[in-house]
Structure 1
Amino acid sequence: MAVLLRSLPLLLSALLAGQVLAADGPLVEVVPVKQMAVRDELITFGSLRSDESVMIRPEIEGRLASLHFREGQAVTAGDLLVSLDDAIARAELAQARANLDLAEKNHQRAQMLFQRGASNAQALDEAQSQLQAARASQALAQARLDKTQIKAPYDGVLGLRQASVGDYLSAGQNIVNLEVLDPLKVDFRIPQKAVAQVRLGQTVEISLDTYPGERFQGEIFAINPRLDEVGRSQAIRAHIGNDDRRLRPGQFVRVSVILAERAEALVIPEEAVMPVGEQLLVNLVVDGSVEQREVRLGKRFDGLVEVREGLEGDETVISAGWQKVRPGLAVRSKSGERQR
């Protein structure tokens, strides 16, 4: 008992010394493991195109009588855009109607005579043929008249006109372009090695310098089955909604094809990873002491890295100062979490 009493001060001193050592352990920065959405993306570039684009042109030649639109105007399908001079077409239609009326009367007489036996079948056939020709001539004249009125084939926005009232237009001459702006098409290409990763219905996002920091979402609706033999790339087309008309055909865009998305991926700072040979390790703080764990990493972005295997999500990792620690060592820690 006397020996125990004499050694008690020494034991207390040793315990106090141990506490001081623990309190004086290395100071490290720690951050909790985060859970956030992580995407695998295929990045490429493309161009915006109108969903439909047509140049309004006359099918027949004639003088431009009147324009029924303003440049840049939004129109709906069936709206009258251009009228050509129709005086000749109306006269031709009137002539065709008169010829048809005569052919119908001749056909009726031929039928009557044939029924009475006063005419033969050949005369009836000739009258029938003349009647059909007259009907065709009227339909042709009516079609020519209809083509003097040029209408919008679908809803869209008109561009800049290239003809004026009084111009004599030849068939196929440009008058004005019509563009469908909602939705827009985005055309882009992917390399041969990524062909198996892209499919119909896949989500894409585009960004452009005009709207920094913004992304516009769309969906792939067409894939060219044939690869380009020169560049070994595949042409892809997607639709992008544009109801607010902020996007314009012809713009150059950055395209991100969303290959996969993990809603609750585990993420840590890149600097928390310690490479040791072929291994990738992270240092955890568990009950004030260091614990090492091997991990398998995924995507890297913005100074962060995804951890696919090795963590559960409730750990705290050492983000700075792990070079001076070892497994089992007691450490002092402070929060090193930064706003990103």
Structure 2
Amino acid sequence: MLSLTLLLHACGASERKKEAEAQQKAGPRPAARVDAFVVQTRSLAEQIEVPGTLVASESTEIHPEVSGRIVSLNVREGAVVGQGSLIAKLYDGDLQAQRRKLQVQLRQAQTTVDRYAALEKIGGISKQDLDVAQLQISNTRADLEIINTDIRRTEVRAPFTGKLGLKTVSTGAYVTPQSVLTTIQKTTGMRVDFSLPEQYIGRVQKGTWVNFTSASDTRVYSAQVIATESGIGGATRTLTMRALVKGDQSGLVPGSFARVKIAFAPDPNALMIPTQAIVPQARGKKVYVIDSGTVKFVDVTTGIRDSSFVQVTSGLNVGDTVAVTGILGLKPNAKAIVRKVVNAPGGGRTTGDTSRPAAKL
């Protein structure tokens, strides 16, 4: 058994030796032939799109101040009403009766004061009696003002000029301060609220202009940022911003979804490479750089992407040559020959076999 094992080992060693000799005779592995792209700078206009919501500048529910039965309801659903317009009237018959009673008492008290004043001049009554009669007038007037205030509280009026919503009650219904009669929203000065990712917060300030489209309207609207939330949302890592809509707002509906587009100042020195040059990895992204005919595997960080190119924010320099085809056949430190060189981000390239290893340009 031992002799058989030694014999097999000797045979295996002989085969490996023959394979090594065959590889030496065959020579080194031929250089891979690839298309490449020379890294250049170009002006890059960055634009992001974030979700938003249209918000009325003023919006509230309409509640009565006191409990009572509705005797008049003036809710024209969807109509625009002015500030102070009467929306509903509650029953106030008992209050009106109290007011009439106090008005009679006030007239009687005034007559008494006039008579006492004449008597006081001729010494018919004391000054104290006149003062008591005048105090009665003051008390009656105060009571009358209280009743007038209670009567006004039975009137439900529009707090501002706006568009009424749907009514939720009818004439004759008994309502309380918790009852919602309808809603009202201001029709001018519309706002759009949107959430901005934290990496862009330093690039959008008060006064920045944004464009947006609404799901309820196909037109493009403009708005100017007027305020921001005090802090970033912990769950979403976004900052809520509010922009004031400018121009005609007739087609906008509060609560509608909005697609907000924010255009940033273009970067004149952005490094761009074709998207096919990127090799995704489990922990990042890499590209194959051809340096003096030798392949190097380089880590890169990417930024904005469009249909054909991607921005590289770190890892490459202007003039680097990156492989864009034949990537699957490349290995680090292998040799490569550039077959075609892409010269411009716009897609222009020189064609033809260079028949030599590529140099770092």
- Shared fold per TM-score greater than 0.5: yes
Q: Give the alignment partner of residue 234 of structure 1, picking from 233, 239, 245.
A: 239
Q: Give the alignment partner of residue 159 of structure 2, picking from 149, 153, 164.
A: 153
Distance 1:35 1:257, change over 3 A: closer
Are the aligned partners of 2:231 and 2:239 in contact in 1 as well (CA < 8 Å)?
A: yes
Take 1:172 and 1:96, find their aligned partners in 2: how far apart are those partners?
A: 31
Worse overlay, 181-190 or 228-237? 228-237
Structure 1 residue 188 corresponds to structure 2 residue 197: no
1:163 deviates by: 0.6
Secondary structure at the counterpart of residue 141 of structure 2: helix
CA RMSD of aligned residues (A): 4.7
Secondary structure at the counterpart of residue 51 of structure 1: coil
Q: Deviations over 1:312-340 (max 9, x none)?
A: xxxx94724447577xxxxxxxxxxxxxx
Tell me the equivalent position of 1:53: 59
Are the aligned partners of 1:266 and 1:306 in contact in 2 as well (CA < 8 Å)?
A: no
Tell me the equivalent position of 1:173: 179
| Counterpart residue type for residue 198 of structure 1 | V
Q: Give the alignment partner of residue 131 of structure 1, picking from 130, 134, 137.
A: 137
Structure 1 residue 222 corresponds to structure 2 residue 227: yes
Matches within 5 A, 1:27-66: 38-41=45-48, 43-66=49-72
Tell me the equivalent position of 1:261: 265
Are the aligned partners of 1:64 and 1:166 in contact in 2 as well (CA < 8 Å)?
A: yes
1:225 deviates by: 3.1
Tell me the equivalent position of 1:75: 81
Secondary structure at the counterpart of residue 200 of structure 1: coil
Take 1:102 and 1:324, find their aligned partners in 2: how far apart are those partners?
A: 115
Are the aligned partners of 2:42 and 2:272 in contact in 1 as well (CA < 8 Å)?
A: no
Tell me the equivalent position of 1:29: none
Q: Give the alignment partner of residue 146 of structure 2, picking from 140, 144, 165.
A: 140
Distance 1:305 1:118, change over 3 A: farther
Are the aligned partners of 1:111 and 1:124 in contact in 2 as well (CA < 8 Å)?
A: yes
Q: Deviations over 1:209-245 (max 9, x none)?
A: 5556x53221112223345566564332222247453
Matches within 5 A, 1:241-256: 241=246, 243-256=248-261
Worse overlay, 249-258 or 297-306? 297-306
1:168 deviates by: 1.8
User: What stretches of structure 2 of length at least 5 have no aligned partner?
Assistant: 1-40, 279-285, 290-301, 319-342, 355-361
| Counterpart residue type for residue 191 of structure 2 | K
Matches within 5 A, 1:260-279: 260-262=264-266, 271=274
Take 1:225 and 1:120, find their aligned partners in 2: how far apart are those partners?
A: 69
Are the aligned partners of 1:64 and 1:83 in contact in 2 as well (CA < 8 Å)?
A: yes
Are the aligned partners of 1:181 and 1:242 in contact in 2 as well (CA < 8 Å)?
A: no
| Counterpart residue type for residue 169 of structure 1 | V
| Counterpart residue type for residue 261 of structure 1 | A
Q: Give the alignment partner of residue 92 of structure 1, picking from 73, 84, 98.
A: 98
Distance 1:108 1:184, change over 3 A: same
| Counterpart residue type for residue 105 of structure 2 | N
Distance 1:191 1:244, change over 3 A: closer
Tell me the equivalent position of 1:9: none
Take 1:127 and 1:255, find their aligned partners in 2: how far apart are those partners?
A: 71
Tell me the equivalent position of 1:105: 111
1:161 deviates by: 0.7
